[in-house]
């Protein structure tokens, strides 16, 4: 760039010398004309003075153009100047008339000056005009042709030479001026930019460097020009940098690009990106040009990006889930190692660009091609749905067959990918192999819906199945019948032979039921010894099925050395539009089943309207009973227990009465089973026990003869087996402060033998509280002497069924005698229930029974009547 400046200055200097010389010549000629006029004694006229003035103006304008180069850029100045030049030609003619001769140098000088003032064709016209003037003047003066013709040619030659020289100088001056402008622009850019520009010679010596070098590397321009840049190049990058420099120097048409590190003046390393150009062939530059940019921050960002990419790649490849991405055409763009390995690919490149069909079909055995094609088509449709809708699909479960005889479960999540403008640009898919979890879930679901012993559908599965039929009934009526099968007396099998034998019997019964019915029928185990069958059949067809089932179940079941006789009762109900819930249908079948039991068992009954009314009343009573305690509808009555020896009252049995505003007086035999079924027996039983304790406490405090009285309270097996029953009884005894030995808890023999082991354990804990225990309705159950001996009871109550025949039936008398003998052996107190006649009373007294209760003594009486009896110290006649 400095060389170009020098050349420009030289051209300008030559131009100035030419102009100064021409102007000097012009001044000399002008003075010569003036001096010549006055020297000859000529008297200047007004015309000659005007002509001299015009020539002087022409001179001043030429001088102005020299001093002020932009003078003629103005259009008005240029027109004025050209008019002055035309007037100067007229001035020459005028001068010629006042001067007999015109010296030759004047013509030549004028021809040389006009090109400096005028442009192009105007200057040429002026020169030709001057030559013609010279020709005309010399011809008029009679000067010989040989004397003036050379001066005319000399005038034309000098004028033409001046024109050519002016054009050449003007052209060079314009080029040099543009070069100066370009230099200033480059210098401004080089100073303003943060990029470093360096120009070296072919020996790599720095000829030019811009100020940005200080900002990038901390060195001044002079330091770099003196030392160069190679000393600060990182040792690891130096050899490659030098090789590239040699490559660039030896080839005029090539360029280099490199990234290297240079040491900052402060000591740290700076990453630079350099582009090099060979301009040694360019005379204006004559060097190697380098453009260098500080990319340290970019390099750090690239390094972080590479690390993040490596981390992302590691996360993808170490993730056991199969992860992939697709473009909007459904072709794979990204996939992780799990995905590649699962479908038989060794790299991401192998999979990239393939559709689901292309990717899966090429890796699938021929025997599975159809299944895999259908699955690939489904996956493709899902992918396109996500990209078209812009909404994700989550938790999609799919069972896929990828390898021969290998079906696996997959859970897929698919999300749309969006570009910076929010436009969907692809899809991200995450697929997990959930085969183990799915199989575990299926096992759990199977366990939740099937009975663990028989593997039949359980109650939950049954209710769900019936519900589906009910949902379909309005639009698609179905002849669905329900067969409720309950095994008669099956609890005695468990009690007598143990649960192991009972379970094996249930397995055999299940086998017979399933074998007897078609596969289309639905068989479920509803409870311990209850089965429910759902069949698409009419009522007559269902009745035939029931008969076949009863026949199949009638054969004895042999378990080892044990032979068990099985029979069942079956209730049949048809699904109708009136059934809104599964429970309603089961309720009707259950009612029919109980009807079968009441009619002798081992038979089937079909649900009818009469059973429906009974079932409806039972359900309504269930609802009413729930509010009986709150509405004070339950009342206590007491039946005396009288000594057979002296007729004194030894205690009372607490009995409940329900005075319902809707149904009137309801006996315990009717509402207690409802309470047992609904669970209300627990709160009602505890309430009755607490009321009995309160009354007994009051009586014992008020009447001295009542100190040894006992009150017997009936307890259901459901109450006894409640975990909180023991603590509830203990709390009641503490609150009422009654003597525990005054309270007698009664349980029926049938209830006790339903679960003798647990019963004995719970009764033993109650016994520790100090209460008395009684076994009610003895003789009607199936208790064994072994269990009876283990029961921690104090009282044995003889069922009224045996008392009723005393005095008339020797068999009943013999049974009572045996019971009393057994009680005496076990040291138990005996109470006879239902004593209604003198014959019964005398027979019981003769057999040695301790106490009796029944209408012969007193019916159940109110608490007020009990108080009156205690106040009168009433004694009944027993003789």
Same fold, 193-301 and 319-439: yes
**Residue 101 clears pLDDT 50, i.e. is over it:** no
pLDDT score of 572: 95
pLDDT band at 474 (very low <50, low <70, confident <90, very high): low
Lowest mean pLDDT among 69-73, 310-314, 554-558: 69-73
**Pairing between β-strand 196-200 and β-strand 287-294 as defined by DSSP bridges:** antiparallel
**Residue 389 clears pLDDT 60, i.e. is over it:** yes
The four Cα atoms 337, 338, 340, 341 give a dihedral, to 10 degrees, of: 110
Measured distance CA(715)–CA(570) in Å, rounded: 30
**Residue 40 clears pLDDT 50, i.e. is over it:** no
**Residue 229 clears pLDDT 90, i.e. is over it:** no
Which secondary-structure segment (H or E) carries 396? strand 393-403
**Residue 398 clears pLDDT 50, i.e. is over it:** yes
**Residue 378 clears pLDDT 60, i.e. is over it:** yes
More confident residue, 64 or 48: 64
**Residue 43 clears pLDDT 50, i.e. is over it:** no
Residue 404 in 3-state DSSP? coil
pLDDT score of 103: 46
pLDDT score of 716: 85
The fourth-level CATH superfamily of domain 625-869 is EAL domain (3.20.20.450)
Mean local confidence (pLDDT), 407-427: 90
pLDDT score of 110: 53
**Residue 42 clears pLDDT 50, i.e. is over it:** no
The fourth-level CATH superfamily of domain 193-301 is PAS domain (3.30.450.20)
pLDDT score of 3: 39
pLDDT score of 105: 44
φ/ψ (deg, to 5) at 255: -135, 165
**Residue 249 clears pLDDT 70, i.e. is over it:** yes
**Residue 683 clears pLDDT 70, i.e. is over it:** yes
Tell me the percentage of the chain whose pLDDT exceeds 90.
34
To which residue do tokens 């001057």 refer? 130
pLDDT score of 496: 65
Task: Give me the residues paired with residue 326 across strands.
Answer: 332, 427
Tell me the percentage of the chain whose pLDDT exceeds 70.
73
Question: Are residues 763 and 773 in contact, defined by beta-carbon separation less than 8 angstroms?
Answer: yes
Lowest mean pLDDT among 18-32, 418-432, 856-870: 18-32
450-607 has which fold? Alpha-Beta Plaits (3.30.70)
Hey, what long-range contacts does 330-338 have (CB within 8 A, 24 or more apart)?
Answer: 330/355, 330/356, 330/380, 330/383, 330/384, 331/355, 332/359, 333/426
More confident residue, 60 or 96: 60
Convert the pLDDT of each residue in 599-651 to its tens digit: 778 899 999 876 666 666 777 787 888 888 888 889 999 999 999 998 999 99
To which residue do tokens 């016209």 refer? 125
pLDDT band at 371 (very low <50, low <70, confident <90, very high): confident
pLDDT band at 14 (very low <50, low <70, confident <90, very high): very low
**Residue 121 clears pLDDT 70, i.e. is over it:** no
Most confident of 105-109, 330-334, 872-876: 330-334
Measured distance CA(445)–CA(84) in Å, rounded: 116
Q: Give domain limits for the chain.
A: 2-184, 193-301, 319-439, 450-607, 625-869
Q: What is the mean pLDDT of the chain?
A: 80
**Residue 19 clears pLDDT 60, i.e. is over it:** no
Mean local confidence (pLDDT), 830-852: 92
Convert the pLDDT of each residue in 172-205 to its tens digit: 556 666 667 767 777 777 677 778 889 999 888 9
**Residue 140 clears pLDDT 70, i.e. is over it:** no
Mean local confidence (pLDDT), 383-399: 90
pLDDT score of 55: 57
Question: Are residues 431 and 411 in contact, defined by beta-carbon separation less than 8 angstroms?
Answer: yes
pLDDT score of 489: 74
**Residue 795 clears pLDDT 90, i.e. is over it:** yes
CATH of domain 319-439: 3.30.450.20
**Residue 423 clears pLDDT 90, i.e. is over it:** yes
φ/ψ (deg, to 5) at 711: -125, 125
For the purposes of burial, counting CB atoms within 10 Å of the CB of 35, is it exposed (0-12), middle (13-18) or buried (19 or more)? Answer: exposed
Mean local confidence (pLDDT), 117-136: 60
**Residue 49 clears pLDDT 60, i.e. is over it:** no
pLDDT band at 425 (very low <50, low <70, confident <90, very high): very high
For the purposes of burial, counting CB atoms within 10 Å of the CB of 323, is it exposed (0-12), middle (13-18) or buried (19 or more)? Answer: buried
Which secondary-structure segment (H or E) carries 734? helix 725-736
Measured distance CA(353)–CA(359) in Å, rounded: 9
Task: Give me the residues paired with residue 641 across strands.
Answer: 651
Q: Tokens representing 154?
A: 């000399």
């Amino acid at each position: 760039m400095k060389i170009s400046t020098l050349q420009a200055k030289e051209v300008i200097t030559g131009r100035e010398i030419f102009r100064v010389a021409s102007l000097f010549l012009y001044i000399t000629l002008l003075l010569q004309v003036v001096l010549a006029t006055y020297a000859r004694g000529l008297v200047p006229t007004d015309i000659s003075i005007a002509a001299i003035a015009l020539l002087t103006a022409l001179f001043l304008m030429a001088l102005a153009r020299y001093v002020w180069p932009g003078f003629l850029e103005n259009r008005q100045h240029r027109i004025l100047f050209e008019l002055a030049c035309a007037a100067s030609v007229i001035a020459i003619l005028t001068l010629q008339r006042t001067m007999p001769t015109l010296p030759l140098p004047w013509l030549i000088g004028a021809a040389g000056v006009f090109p400096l003032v005028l442009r192009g064709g105007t200057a040429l016209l002026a020169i030709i005009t001057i030559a013609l003037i010279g020709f005309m003047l010399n011809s008029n003066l009679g000067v010989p042709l040989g004397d003036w013709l050379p001066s005319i040619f000399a005038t034309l030659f000098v004028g033409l030479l001046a024109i050519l020289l002016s054009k050449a100088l003007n052209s060079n001056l314009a080029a040099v001026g543009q070069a100066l402008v370009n230099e200033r622009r480059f210098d401004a850019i080089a100073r303003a930019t943060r990029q470093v520009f360096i120009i070296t010679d072919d020996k790599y010596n720095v000829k030019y460097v811009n100020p940005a070098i200080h900002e990038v590397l901390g060195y001044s321009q002079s330091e770099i020009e003196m030392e160069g840049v190679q000393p600060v190049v990182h040792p690891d990058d130096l050899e490659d940098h030098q090789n590239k420099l040699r490559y660039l120097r030896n080839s005029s048409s090539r360029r280099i690009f490199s990234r290297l590190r240079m040491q900052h003046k402060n000591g740290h390393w700076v990453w630079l990106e350099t582009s090099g150009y060979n301009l040694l062939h360019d005379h204006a530059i004559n060097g190697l040009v380098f453009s260098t940019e500080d990319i340290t921050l970019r390099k750090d960002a690239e390094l972080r990006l590479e690390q993040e990419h490596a981390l992302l790649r590691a996360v993808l490849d170490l993730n056991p889930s199969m992860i992939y991405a697709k473009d909007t055409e459904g072709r794979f763009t990204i996939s992780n190692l799990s995905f590649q390995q699962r479908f038989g690919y060794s790299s991401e490149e192998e999979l990239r660009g393939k559709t689901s069909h292309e990717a899966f079909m090429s890796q699938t055995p021929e025997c599975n091609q159809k299944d895999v094609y259908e699955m690939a088509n489904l996956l493709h449709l899902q992918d396109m749905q996500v990209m078209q809708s812009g909404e994700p699909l989550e938790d999609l479960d799919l069972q896929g067959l990828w390898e021969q005889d290998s079906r696996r479960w997959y859970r897929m999540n698919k999300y749309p990918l969006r570009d910076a403008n929010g436009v969907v640009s692809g899809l991200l898919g995450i697929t997990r192999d959930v085969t183990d979890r799915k199989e575990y879930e299926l096992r759990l679901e199977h366990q939740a819906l099937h009975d663990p012993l028989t593997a039949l559908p359980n109650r939950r599965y049954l209710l769900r199945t019936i519900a589906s039929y009910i949902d379909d009934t309005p639009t698609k009526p179905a002849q669905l019948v329900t067969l409720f099968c309950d095994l008669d007396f099956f609890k005695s099998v468990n009690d007598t032979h143990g649960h192991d034998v009972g379970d094996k019997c249930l397995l055999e019964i299940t086998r017979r039921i399933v074998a007897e019915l078609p596969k289309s029928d639905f068989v479920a185990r509803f409870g311990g010894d209850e089965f429910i069958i759902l069949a698409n059949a009419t009522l007559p067809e269902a009745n035939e099925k029931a008969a076949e089932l009863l026949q199949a179940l009638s054969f004895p079941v042999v378990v080892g050395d044990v032979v068990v006789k099985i029979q069942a009762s079956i209730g049949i109900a048809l699904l109708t539009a009136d059934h809104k819930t599964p429970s309603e249908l089961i309720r009707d079948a259950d009612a029919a089943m109980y009807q079968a039991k009441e009619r002798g068992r081992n038979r089937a009954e079909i649900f009818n309207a009469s059973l429906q009314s009974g079932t409806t009343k039972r359900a309504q009573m269930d609802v009413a009973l729930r509010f009986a305690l709150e509405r004070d509808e339950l009342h206590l009555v007491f039946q005396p227990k009288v000594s057979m020896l002296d007729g004194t009252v030894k205690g009372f049995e607490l009995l409940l009465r329900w005075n319902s505003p809707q149904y009137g007086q309801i006996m315990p035999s009717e509402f207690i089973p409802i309470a047992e079924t609904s669970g209300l027996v627990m709160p009602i039983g505890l309430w009755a026990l607490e009321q009995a304790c309160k009354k007994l406490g009051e009586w014992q405090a008020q009447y001295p003869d009542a100190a040894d009285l006992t009150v017997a309270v009936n307890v259901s097996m459901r109450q006894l087996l409640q975990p909180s029953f023991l603590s509830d009884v203990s709390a009641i005894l503490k609150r009422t402060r009654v003597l525990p030995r005054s309270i007698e808890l009664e349980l029926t023999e049938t209830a006790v033998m339903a679960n003798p082991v647990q019963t004995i354990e719970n009764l033993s804990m109650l016994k520790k509280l100090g209460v008395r225990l009684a076994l009610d309705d003895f003789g009607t159950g199936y208790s064994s002497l072994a269990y009876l001996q283990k029961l921690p009871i104090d009282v044995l109550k003889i069922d009224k069924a045996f008392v009723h025949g005393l005095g008339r039936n020797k068999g009943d008398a013999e049974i009572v005698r045996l019971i009393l003998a057994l009680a005496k052996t076990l040291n138990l107190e005996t109470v006879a229930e239902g004593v209604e006649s003198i014959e019964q009373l005398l027979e019981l007294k003769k057999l040695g029974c301790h106490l009796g209760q029944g209408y012969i003594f007193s019916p159940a009486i109110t608490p007020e009547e009990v108080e009156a009896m205690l106040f009168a110290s009433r004694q009944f006649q027993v003789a």
